[in-house]
Structure 1
Amino acid sequence: MKLPALFLCIGVALPAFGAVSQAPADKPKEEDAAYQTLISAANAVVAVKMKALANARSAETLGNERLGSGVLIAPSGLVLTIGYLILEADQVDVTTVGGRTIPATVVAYDHATGFGLLRPIGPLDVKPVRLGNSGKVDALDRMMVATGSGELGVSVTTVVSKRTFAGYWEYLIDDALFTSPPRLDHSGAALINKDGELVGIGSLFVMDAQTPGERLPGNMFVPVDLLKPIIDEMIETGRQKAGVRPWLGINSLEEDGRIKVLRVTSDGPAEKAGIKPGDIILTVGGQKVEKLDDFYKKLWSSGKPGVEVALKILQGAEVRDLKIRSIDRLEFVRKKPTI
C-alpha cells in the first residue's frame, strides 16, 4: 500500500503530529523509515466481514451482516476489532489489503471495554502492529486512521478531545479518544500514531467530538491502554472477569438533567419488568440519578449479575417503583453451537 499524498504532506514529514495549522512539509521519499513504518502499520489492518447467527438477538439493531475493520496485533497474532462487529457471529472472514481472505474464529468479546478478538485460521502474511500508549495521546495530536478499504481507507485525523464516555447501551469507559474529521467506516478502524503504533480502535460516529453538546462531527476510539491489562484473560477465558456486571437491557440518554429510556432490548430484563421507551429513570436503589455515568456506576455497584435492582421511574404521568432481576449480558446473547 502507498499512503495518500495528503497524508504524506501533512503527517509523515512532520517531526511530530502537531496542530493542523502547521505548514505542509515536502513529500518524503518512500524509503524513509517513518514512511515505511506507517505503511507497515496500515498493512496490518484487515477488512472484517461477519454473518450473524440466524437467531441473533443483536440483529435487530446491528444487522445480520456486518462490515468493518480489525488490526493484527503483536505479540498475540490475533486480530483486534470492535466487539459489536463480531457479537453473535456465525461466520467471520478477514481480508488483507493484498486481497487475501481467511476465515476467523471469535476468541473473545468484552462488553465492558467494547473490544473483540479474532483468530485467523491461517497466516495473514502481514506484520502485526505494536500496541502504543494511548495515555500519551493529547488533544491536537495528528493520527493516521486505517480501515480495511485499501488506499481509500487511510486518512489523517486530529485528536480533539480525550474524556470519559458514557454510551447509551450500558457502557462507560475512561479516556476515550475523540477525533475529527470523521470517517463513516469507523467500526474497528485503527488509530495509529506517528511511530506506527496502535493507540485506539474505532467505535462510533459522534456529533460532538470536541465538547459534549457542541456540534463537531467526529469519531470515538476505544483506547488500547484498556486492553493491555486484560488481553491475556480475554484470550484464556473469552472475556474479562471485571467486566461481568448486572445488565438490564436499557438504551438511554441524558435529557434535561434526567435519564430517558430510548429503547429496551426485546425479552430483556427491563422489558420483562415493564420499562418502556420514553420512561424517565429517577432513582437506582433509592439514589437519585441525573447522568448516564452515575446511573451505570450505581447499577454496577448494586451487586453481581442476578441481583434485583430497584428503580423508580416516571412512566407517562405515573411514578412507579420497579424491581428488575438483572442478568449477565453475555448469558443473554446467542452463541454458536460447538461440537
Structure 2
Amino acid sequence: MNHPFLMVLCAGLLAWPLAWAQPEQALPSPTVQRIMQSVVSVQTRSDEQANTARTLGQQRLGSGVVIAPDTVLTIGYLLLEAETVDLIDHQGRRIPGQVRAVDNTSGLGLIRALVPLRLEAVPLGDSDALPTPGKLWTLGQRESELTALELVSRRPFAAVWEYWLEAPLMTLPAVNNWSGAGLFDQRGRLVGIGSLLVQDVFGDQVPLPGNLYVPVNLIKDPLPELLRQGKSLGPAPSWLGISSQALPGGGLSVLRVSPNSPAAQSGIMVGDTLLALQGQALDNLPDFYRRLRAVGPAGSTLTLSIRREGQVRQIELVTADRNQSLKRPSSI
C-alpha cells in the first residue's frame, strides 16, 4: 500500500476513534423511550408554481423532533413554500401542522401542530459543549432503533446555495435517513438536526462520507421570536440568489441564478465568473459568504466584479431578504 492517498486515508482512520470500533454504550431505557416517541415523520407539499419546487420537489418527506407541547423542530428546506404539513407520530397518528418559521441563518425550521401532540418534548442540549470525538445517537422517521454515531469534526461548511455554517456537527458512519433526523447526546438531549449527506467529513484531504447535523444552539437565541412572530428580531441577512462553486484558478463559477433575486435583476447569468466583491478577490465559498455578511443586512448595496466571455464588468446591486423571494405559505 504505497499509494500516498491510501496511506493518508488509512492513517487518518486508525488515528480516529470511530464509533463502530468502540464498545457500544447503551442509553438508559427511559431515555431511549423518550427519544423514540419524540421523533415524528414530516410530510409537506408545496404549490407546483413555488420557486423551490424545481430544486426541492413539490412533495417532501423527512423527520422532526418534538421540542414543546405543540412544536416540532426540523430542517428548514422541508418547509420552504409548503402549503400543507402533516406530522405522523410513532403510533401512526396523522396530525395536521403549519409552518411556523424557517430560520435561513441556521437552516432550521419550526412546525406548529394544529391539534394536541400528546407527546413528551425532548430538552435541547448544549451543542457547543460536545466533545470531538464523542458518542452521539440519531433517529429518523419510522426507524425502530437508535443508531450510534461518532462526532468527528466541526469543520466549516459552505454550500453552493449561499449557506454557510461555521461549526456544524459532522458524524460517522453515514446514514441515509438524515433529513430532519434528531441527533442526541448521552443524556438524551437534542443537540442537532440532520441536514445533509456530505462526502468529506474531515475535509478535502480525506474524502470520507458522513452526515452534517445543524447544531441546536444556533436556534436558541432566535427561538422565542420565531415562535412568537415567525421571524427573528432585527434585519434579515443579505442574499443575492447565486449558486456558485470555486474555480481552480480563482473566482467562483455561477451555477444557478434564483428567479426574481438581486442577482437575476442585475443581469448576472449562469456561466459568469465572480471575481471580486467590493474590490476584494474571491477565492472560495467561505470567503465569499463571510464578505457578503460583512457588507451588512438585506438592503445593503455592493459591487461584484464578474467575467463574461472574456470581458470583466462591474455590477452594482442591492441585497435582499431571501424570504421575500419565496411564496408565503397560506398556513403562516
Query: Is the structural similarity TM-score above 0.5?
Result: yes
Listed one character per residue, the Cα deviations across residues 205-241 of structure 1 (whole Å, up to 9, x for unaligned) are 1100122453111111110111111100111221223
* Distance in 2 of aligned mates of 1:184 and 1:18: 18
* Distance in 2 of aligned mates of 1:280 and 1:262: 10
In the TM superposition, residue 158 of structure 1 has moved relative to its aligned partner by 1.4
In the TM superposition, residue 156 of structure 1 has moved relative to its aligned partner by 1.9
Aligned partner of residue 202 in structure 1, secondary structure: strand
What is the match of residue 247 of structure 1? 239
Q: Read off the aligned partner of 2:30 and give its amino acid letter.
A: Q
Work out whether residues 251 and 281 of structure 2, in 8 Å CA contact, stay in contact via their aligned partners in 1.
Answer: no
Unmatched runs of 5 consecutive residues or more in structure 2: 1-16
Work out whether residues 18 and 142 of structure 1, in 8 Å CA contact, stay in contact via their aligned partners in 2.
Answer: no
Alignment of 1:243-282 (within 5 A): 244-256=236-248, 257-282=250-275
What is the match of residue 21 of structure 1? 21
The question of 1:318 aligning with 2:311 is answered yes
* Distance in 2 of aligned mates of 1:177 and 1:130: 18
In the TM superposition, residue 173 of structure 1 has moved relative to its aligned partner by 2.1
What is the match of residue 169 of structure 1? 161
In the TM superposition, residue 139 of structure 1 has moved relative to its aligned partner by 2.3
Q: Hey, which bits of structure 1, 4+ residues long, moved more than 6 A? A: none
Which of 76, 81, 84 aligns to 1:83? It is 76
The question of 1:299 aligning with 2:292 is answered yes
Listed one character per residue, the Cα deviations across residues 97-116 of structure 1 (whole Å, up to 9, x for unaligned) are 11011010111111111111
What is the match of residue 125 of structure 2? 132
- Seen in structure 2, the aligned counterparts of structure 1 residues 213 and 63 have a Cα distance that, compared at 3 Å, is farther
Which of 50, 55, 77 aligns to 1:56? It is 50
Work out whether residues 49 and 94 of structure 1, in 8 Å CA contact, stay in contact via their aligned partners in 2.
Answer: yes
Q: State the percentage of identical aligned residues.
A: 37
- Seen in structure 2, the aligned counterparts of structure 1 residues 139 and 242 have a Cα distance that, compared at 3 Å, is farther
Work out whether residues 309 and 324 of structure 1, in 8 Å CA contact, stay in contact via their aligned partners in 2.
Answer: yes
Q: Read off the aligned partner of 1:116 and give its amino acid letter.
A: G
* Distance in 1 of aligned mates of 2:161 and 2:232: 18
Work out whether residues 38 and 195 of structure 1, in 8 Å CA contact, stay in contact via their aligned partners in 2.
Answer: no
In the TM superposition, residue 57 of structure 1 has moved relative to its aligned partner by 0.7
TM-score in terms of structure 2 length: 0.88
Aligned partner of residue 195 in structure 1, secondary structure: coil
Listed one character per residue, the Cα deviations across residues 282-307 of structure 1 (whole Å, up to 9, x for unaligned) are 11111222122221222222233233
Listed one character per residue, the Cα deviations across residues 244-269 of structure 1 (whole Å, up to 9, x for unaligned) are 02211001122324322221112322
Report the RMSD for the aligned CA atoms in angstroms. 2.1
- Seen in structure 2, the aligned counterparts of structure 1 residues 118 and 156 have a Cα distance that, compared at 3 Å, is same
What is the match of residue 41 of structure 1? 35
Q: How many residues align?
A: 315
Aligned partner of residue 175 in structure 1, secondary structure: coil
Work out whether residues 111 and 243 of structure 1, in 8 Å CA contact, stay in contact via their aligned partners in 2.
Answer: no
Aligned partner of residue 246 in structure 2, secondary structure: strand
* Distance in 1 of aligned mates of 2:273 and 2:199: 24
* Distance in 2 of aligned mates of 1:111 and 1:258: 25
TM-score in terms of structure 1 length: 0.87
Which of 189, 206, 210 aligns to 1:197? It is 189
What is the match of residue 173 of structure 2? 181
Which of 216, 221, 232 aligns to 1:229? It is 221
Aligned partner of residue 297 in structure 2, secondary structure: coil
* Distance in 2 of aligned mates of 1:137 and 1:212: 23
Q: Read off the aligned partner of 2:303 and give its amino acid letter.
A: A
Report the more deviating stretch, 223-232 or 301-310: 301-310
Q: Read off the aligned partner of 2:291 and give its amino acid letter.
A: K
Q: Read off the aligned partner of 2:201 and give its amino acid letter.
A: A
* Distance in 1 of aligned mates of 2:128 and 2:28: 22
Aligned partner of residue 60 in structure 2, secondary structure: strand
In the TM superposition, residue 89 of structure 1 has moved relative to its aligned partner by 0.9
What is the match of residue 91 of structure 2? 98
* Distance in 2 of aligned mates of 1:338 and 1:52: 11
Aligned partner of residue 48 in structure 1, secondary structure: strand
* Distance in 1 of aligned mates of 2:237 and 2:169: 24
* Distance in 2 of aligned mates of 1:304 and 1:21: 46
* Distance in 2 of aligned mates of 1:157 and 1:24: 10
Unmatched runs of 5 consecutive residues or more in structure 1: 1-16
* Distance in 1 of aligned mates of 2:251 and 2:43: 38
